[in-house]
Amino acid sequence: MPQRLAIMARRHSPVMSESFLSRLEDKLGIHQQPLKERIVHVMYRLRVQRNKIESMGLMMQHRDKELFDKCVTARASGDMTRASLYAEECADVRKIAKVVLQSELALERVIFKLETAEMLGDIAFLMHPIKNVVTTIGEQMRHVMPEVSYELGQINETLDSLVADTGNGMETFSPIEAHSAEAEGILKEADTLAEQRIKSRFPELRRPTPTNLPA
């Protein structure tokens, strides 16, 4: 009966989101796919969100170039007020760009760890730190890309069901402190790489002042 309900939901609601159907099946106890296949599907969903974040990063880089060029033009013409406005906008864009890039890199790391764990059959140990990282990325993307934040939340619900299916015995060998340290390490590494890439991708931004304006 539960399986029939899920099938009927699919037939009568073709626009129903995959995430809703996934939650419905989880609540009804329907797991048609083996654990390994569900993990592969999670990795696919994470890649989709990573690609969306990457596209946003490229858009931010393009926007920064436009603003930077306008700032340079304004400085060259001696319009310090306009140059200062463009410089401030550039600075705001770069703050967002760093968050976007850090999120992209963190998701890349999560996907890589899932791929490795899936090959080695060591999914249980990494599931909690991966959930922590996905949660953090979802929170920091909430005001930048709300739809990505929402989808990451749905993915985390799937990860919850995977944690339940892999069993709770892993807690004996993998305490909460280890989960937090692993997640923190992933985020810190992504933040460091994001800082480096921001510096390499975005030209140096100098605030226009009377002393550095062209003669």
Count of other CB atoms within 10 angstroms of residue 113: 18
- Tell me if 62 is assigned to some domain: yes
Number of domains in the chain: 1
The residue-averaged pLDDT of 88-96 equals 91
- Tell me if 15 is assigned to some domain: no
- Tell me if 2 is assigned to some domain: no
- Tell me if 119 is assigned to some domain: yes
Domain of 137 in residue numbering reads as: 46-201
pLDDT of 2-45, one tens digit each?
A: 444 444 444 544 444 555 555 545 554 444 567 778 888 999 99
Give residue 166's pLDDT. Answer: 62
Spatial contact of 186 and 112, defined as CB atoms under 8 Å apart: no
- Tell me if 67 is assigned to some domain: yes
CA distance 207 to 189: 29
- pLDDT band with cut points at 50, 70 and 90 for residue 53: very high
pLDDT of 153-193, one tens digit each?
A: 999 888 888 777 665 444 434 444 445 677 787 788 888 88
For residue 207, which of 72, 96, 77 has the smallest C-alpha distance? 72
Name the least confident of 13-17, 198-202, 206-210: 13-17
Count of other CB atoms within 10 angstroms of residue 16: 12
- Tell me if 36 is assigned to some domain: no
Exposed / middle / buried, residue 126 (Cβ in 10 Å: 0-12, 13-18, 19+): buried
- Tell me if 117 is assigned to some domain: yes
- Tell me if 149 is assigned to some domain: yes
